[in-house]
Structure 1
Amino acid sequence: MAKIQRLDPHLTNMIAAGEVVERPSGVIKELVENAIDANSTTIEIHTKQGGIEQMMVIDDGDGMSAADATLAFERHATSKIKDVQDLWRIGTMGFRGEALPSIASVSNVELKTNDGNESTVVEIAYGKTVKAGPVGTPKGTQIIVRNLFQKTPARFKHLKSAQYEFSLVSDVIQKFALAYPNIAFLLMNDEKISFSSSGNGNQQEVIMNIYGRDIAKSAIAIEGSDSDYHIEGYAVQPSHTRATKYYMLLFVNNRMIRSFRLQKAILDAYAPYTPSDRYPIVVLNIQMDPQLVDVNVHPSKWEVRLSKEKQLEFLIKETIGDALRKKLEVNKVVRQERFERVETPSFSFTYDQPTTESLQPQKLHQEINESFSNYQTETQTSETVVEEEITTVDQTIETVEQTPIQPIPTADEVETEPEVEVEAPTALNPSFPNMIVLAQMHKCYILAQGDNGLYIIDQHAAQERYHYEEIQKALLHGVKDKQDLLVPIMIESTNRAVQQADAINALLEELGIHLEVFGENSFVVRSLPIWVTDVEEEKFLQDMIDIYLKNEEVNIEQLRRLALASMACHSSIRFNRTLTMQEMEQVIEDLRKCEQPFHCPHGRPTLIELTLKELEKDFLRVK
């Protein structure tokens, strides 16, 4: 008796549903992709209970004929591809012909569609056709999915709360809106609007709808091309970061994808400006010949395979890096409004009106006592000041009486000196503000005044940036001279490091450093480059070995940057050190000479700006 048998079509659809449809957000993704392929300009998404109870997608696209509406629920029935060659140049969102039959096998689906010639309704309940026939409906398509996984308890129990499921739906729709700013999206949950976009083609406006005005204003437009790829989108200033990598959004030919290697290229571009545990906000669309990308990797279509992927990584890193270098801004202090203005009646009094809070009996009594105490103190102080001023005046009169009167020189006798024009120092980076040092705070921060407001400079981070660029310039100009050490440096390491000595040296020798194996788990260094100064050499060299062992794929560019960052850190002004006014001015002057003065080599900000506008808000001077 044969053991192998052909599975029932309904069973195969249910198996496929396990890959295509995992939760409501997966259903919505498939339905919206179909709406996009139908040339829709407006797409509405309505959910109940986060999509667990019901999902509805309405579009104004091309619609379907009666025959196509019925055939669409057959497995592998699609209008997107016709032969093998089409599989290697896919330009549509859908193409597998699995989504609708898979969804209909695990839910109740009702489809209404109008192609401009005829209107059709098709209803399928858990794989069985309930009805199919004519119906009145506007041009386009409306599809309703009810009771997802109600008859498959093993899948239904893995759904989470309605709020969580809807958050995933919302995330998918927002990504669609970013990929297709020319399509108007409307998302409603339980009859309440959650998200909408105008469809006017302005991607920055969509970013504002999703992330807020501050993020949108700080978004830098990016665009770059090579012989195979064209990339465009927005990279947000490094002052706005997130704790997860899910804000780096990637689209290939407007298809949302996930790619670890492309995300790493973005992180490499942001590395000089952000700490290692923070992630940027980037929206990046990659346009390419469809033949360079294989989207037929997984039924969910999140994963793709790219030809010439390293070439694309380089383009992304260089394009974003160049945009950040040109348009980097000072980190600003952004805070929530801490005070509320209390509106009071307007009278023709010459003094300010009391707030409603101050009119409370207990508070009013307390403030009267405090005011009286303050009045006594101020009165005593005023009397003392007056007595001191009288004494000073008397002394001044005596001095004047004793001083002989000098004759007033004529105009011809007065020698005039030529006026000297003092020019403000020019910063290497045009975005760097002019500042006047005010004071040092807590032996850690330098306070300075500028045209826009108050600047707070991290004295250690600022010196790190300056030293980093100075050492970098020396290396770029080929300064690789070495100096022999009077006493060789011994470095205790591990057997694993010794076994990889050749690979480590292949990188370190580019920096002018050579490790000589000395025993089973140690090295000896007999000379160092002249730029290795004012540091603990043994600790610095140990850091270099650890960097390689932690990431054996590190390249010379990364190692050089990490080496310079470590060197700059060790040789910079530390916290808890009192600085003179001259030293503080020198810190700012050094920072002014930097090409990228706003972040230390580890990505932390060197200075932040508290604008006059923010101060005016705090002091309730802005109406």
Structure 2
Amino acid sequence: MAKIIKLDQHTANLIAAGEVIERPASVVKELVENSIDAEARNIEINLVDAGITEIVVSDDGVGMDPADARMCVEPHATSKIRDKQDLFRITTLGFRGEALPSIASVSHFRLKTSTDGHKGILYSLKGGAFVSEAVIACPRGTEITVRNLFFNTPARLQNLQSQSQELSHITDYVSKIALARPDIAFKLTKNDRVLLQTYGNGNLLEAISQVYGLEIAKHMLSFYESVGYFQVSGFASDLNVSRANKLQITIIVNERVIKNHAVTNAVLAAYKERLVIGRYPLVVLKISADPALIDVNIHPAKLEVRFSAENELLNLVTHAISYALHNSELIPEAEEKNPVPLPPAEEKAEEEFLDIGLEEETHFEDDLDELLRMFEVDQEEPRQYPKEELIKEEPQEPPRFEQQEYSFIEEEGERESLLPKMYYIGQLHGTYLLFQDEENFYMIDQHAAYERINYEKIKRELQKDRNISYELLIPIKLNFTISESLLLAERIEELRNLGIIIEDFGSGTYTVREIPIWIPKGSEREFVEEIINAVIKRGKVERIEFLDSLAKNLACKRSIKANQYLDKNVIDYLIGDLSRCENPYNCPHGRPIIVKFKNTEIEKWFRRIVT
């Protein structure tokens, strides 16, 4: 009996859905791309419970007649390509004919469409099987409703993330496709609350302001350059705006949002030695090229592409952005500290006081003689005062408090040194510390040593139930994208437990009021952004693992770098702290901190000992 069989179509659709439809954001992506291919100028996405319960995508595109509407949910049915030659010149966002049947196979699916704005057709499916159809009145365009996503694949449903995290994936995609198509008006709502809206006037900079905010848009630099078959354009942030991750580098190829590490690195190369390590720009990069030079048929979700003449494109991207930065003001602006406005009553009193002062000044000279006569006194013999009366107590100044560098105190007493007793003899290349004892020569990597010390200190502080914090004199203002704000909103309490008190000011703006006392002075913003970014990106990871990873990242940022010469006193403190670490031999990433050479080995190098 034959063991190999041909799978039925429903099973094949479920397998395809596993590749194409990973989460609610995948559904939104496929439906929005279909709307764009249908020449829509207005696209609305309505979500219930972050799309897990319901997703509705409606557009004003060309619509479908009843025959096409029924055919579109069949596997590999498409209007985008006709034969294999079209695969090499793809100009639409979709082309495989897998999306709609894959979505319909794992949901309750309803399709309404019309080509003339009067008479339309409605089809309902459940798990990929037709349930009903009807002729209805319908505006021109298409509306697709997806309910109870993954109702027949419980394992995938249970592995979805929280509503805020799933919603952040959707808002991230809609934000980027709105930047790719500023000529289309997008509206994204969740439970009847508008999350994002663009107006489709074709102005990319205006779309950037609607996605990232007006303050970000003010710091964007336009660029344009072309060579051969490639043309690059868009906007890149100046040096006053940066982020703690690369997520805001949006790459658009022929109006398709993609991910490409080589192109991302080409963008970052333009900012080399302009932004500090660990900071990344906001960039909207649009690449136009002949479709024959691009292969988009390499990823199920069409998120990755391959280029012909890729090196030429990468050089063009780096040069275009570098040129825009070179022609701009490269001196970062200092943050303005606006004076606190007076309350209306105090402001009015101050104005009245100034008015009175001006009036009296005009009569001052006329009344001077009269004032002197009023205060004339007869001369008397000088009065003798006891010595005790002449010595007056000086008024005591109120106590002054200054923020001191926080020192970590061992709660369990001094730990016994794990390092050998050795003597400092010098520093090599500003990177390695040199020591010796009677029988050995030692080299210590100063960055790795500092990293280990800071890692153990920060990890110990992070693992406390409640961190000691202090209120900032000037709060730190941070701006986030819509998707980041949604994730941050559900992590407020977690940040509070880490000692960071943060308040939502609306429109993606948050104000940090208090921070942990162990954050070093001068690095408050950098550390807070790093912590918030790590908390936002945290997935289903145990708290201990998460805090350990966060401590490693923060320790690396706080540690001194290579090519930095240290004072002898600093080195003594460094070795003292290192000797009390639980593991003074390796940095948190596993690299060695200290290397030992025996005297006999060194003597062999110089042939003082012949073996």
Give the TM interval when normalised to the shorter protein.
0.5 to 0.7
Distance 1:63 1:352 in 2: 71
Q: CA deviation at 1:351?
A: 4.3
* Correspondence 1:37 to 2:37: yes
* Correspondence 1:232 to 2:233: yes
Q: CA deviation at 1:299?
A: 1.4
Distance 1:40 1:342 in 2: 51
Show the counterpart of 1:153.
154
- Corresponding residue SS for 2:110: strand
Show the counterpart of 1:85.
85
Distance 2:337 2:243 in 1: 18
Q: CA deviation at 1:328?
A: 3.0
The answer to whether the 8 A contact 2:239-2:331 is kept is no
**Unaligned regions of 5+ residues in structure 2, if any?**
355-427, 432-445, 447-561, 571-611
Show the counterpart of 2:343.
342
Show the counterpart of 1:272.
273
1:112-155 deviation digits (Å, cap 9, x = unpaired): 00011741111111111011231111000001000101221110
Q: CA deviation at 1:347?
A: 6.1
Structure 1 counterpart of 2:49, one-letter code? Q
Q: CA deviation at 1:226?
A: 0.3
Show the counterpart of 1:64.
64
Show the counterpart of 2:139.
138
Aligned pairs for 1:385-534 (under 5 A) are none
The answer to whether the 8 A contact 1:65-1:118 is kept is no
Distance 2:47 2:267 in 1: 34
- Corresponding residue SS for 1:241: coil
Aligned pairs for 1:83-482 (under 5 A) are 83-116=83-116, 118-334=119-335, 339=340, 341-344=342-345, 351=352
1:248-307 deviation digits (Å, cap 9, x = unpaired): 110110100000000000111111211121111100010000010010011100011111
Structure 2 counterpart of 1:222, one-letter code? F
Say if 1:93 and 1:338 are closer, same or farther in 2 by CA, change over 3 A: farther
The answer to whether the 8 A contact 1:106-1:149 is kept is yes
Structure 2 counterpart of 1:233, one-letter code? G
Show the counterpart of 1:25.
25
1:552-601 deviation digits (Å, cap 9, x = unpaired): xxxxxxxxxxxxxxxx9879xxxx9xxxxxxxxxxxxxxxxxxxxxxxxx
1:211-239 deviation digits (Å, cap 9, x = unpaired): 22221011000101001100110011022
Show the counterpart of 1:373.
none
Structure 2 counterpart of 1:212, one-letter code? G
Show the counterpart of 2:49.
49
Aligned pairs for 1:543-622 (under 5 A) are none
Identity of aligned residues (%): 42
Distance 1:259 1:314 in 2: 15
The answer to whether the 8 A contact 1:179-1:256 is kept is yes
- Corresponding residue SS for 1:73: coil
- Corresponding residue SS for 2:187: strand
Distance 2:224 2:149 in 1: 42
Show the counterpart of 2:499.
none
Say if 1:336 and 1:171 are closer, same or farther in 2 by CA, change over 3 A: farther
Show the counterpart of 2:396.
none
Distance 1:298 1:350 in 2: 69
**Unaligned regions of 5+ residues in structure 1, if any?**
354-489, 494-538, 540-567, 577-623
* Correspondence 1:73 to 2:73: yes
- Corresponding residue SS for 1:177: helix
The answer to whether the 8 A contact 2:124-2:131 is kept is yes
Q: Tell me the number of residue pairs that the alignment of Structure 1 and Structure 2 aligns.
A: 373
Distance 2:353 2:158 in 1: 63
Distance 1:166 1:338 in 2: 39
Distance 2:277 2:93 in 1: 35
- Corresponding residue SS for 1:138: coil
Q: CA deviation at 1:240?
A: 0.9
Q: Indicate the RMSD between aligned Cα atoms, in angstroms.
A: 3.4
Distance 2:204 2:225 in 1: 17
- Corresponding residue SS for 1:95: coil
Q: CA deviation at 1:330?
A: 2.3
1:435-455 deviation digits (Å, cap 9, x = unpaired): xxxxxxxxxxxxxxxxxxxxx
Distance 1:270 1:570 in 2: 24
Deviates more, 1:67-76 or 1:231-240: 231-240
- Corresponding residue SS for 1:75: coil
Say if 1:349 and 1:14 are closer, same or farther in 2 by CA, change over 3 A: closer
Distance 1:349 1:188 in 2: 48
Distance 2:74 2:351 in 1: 81
Show the counterpart of 1:517.
none
Distance 2:19 2:324 in 1: 39
The answer to whether the 8 A contact 1:48-1:190 is kept is yes
The answer to whether the 8 A contact 2:119-2:138 is kept is no
Q: CA deviation at 1:337?
A: 6.8
Distance 2:111 2:46 in 1: 15
Q: CA deviation at 1:318?
A: 0.7
Deviates more, 1:334-343 or 1:203-212: 334-343
Structure 2 counterpart of 1:127, one-letter code? G
TM-score, normalised on structure 1?
Answer: 0.56
Say if 1:145 and 1:308 are closer, same or farther in 2 by CA, change over 3 A: same
Structure 2 counterpart of 1:210, one-letter code? V
Structure 2 counterpart of 1:79, one-letter code? S
Distance 1:259 1:17 in 2: 24
Deviates more, 1:327-336 or 1:57-66: 327-336
Distance 1:337 1:91 in 2: 51
Say if 1:81 and 1:338 are closer, same or farther in 2 by CA, change over 3 A: farther
- Corresponding residue SS for 1:100: helix
The answer to whether the 8 A contact 1:70-1:132 is kept is no
Show the counterpart of 2:497.
none
Show the counterpart of 1:15.
15
TM-score, normalised on structure 2?
Answer: 0.57
Say if 1:183 and 1:569 are closer, same or farther in 2 by CA, change over 3 A: same
Q: CA deviation at 1:343?
A: 3.6
Distance 2:254 2:284 in 1: 13
Say if 1:90 and 1:270 are closer, same or farther in 2 by CA, change over 3 A: same
Distance 1:187 1:101 in 2: 24
Distance 1:58 1:207 in 2: 23
Distance 1:111 1:179 in 2: 26
Distance 1:115 1:195 in 2: 28
Distance 1:337 1:29 in 2: 43
Q: CA deviation at 1:334?
A: 3.5
- Corresponding residue SS for 1:207: helix
The answer to whether the 8 A contact 1:66-1:118 is kept is no
Distance 1:37 1:22 in 2: 22
Distance 2:351 2:185 in 1: 54
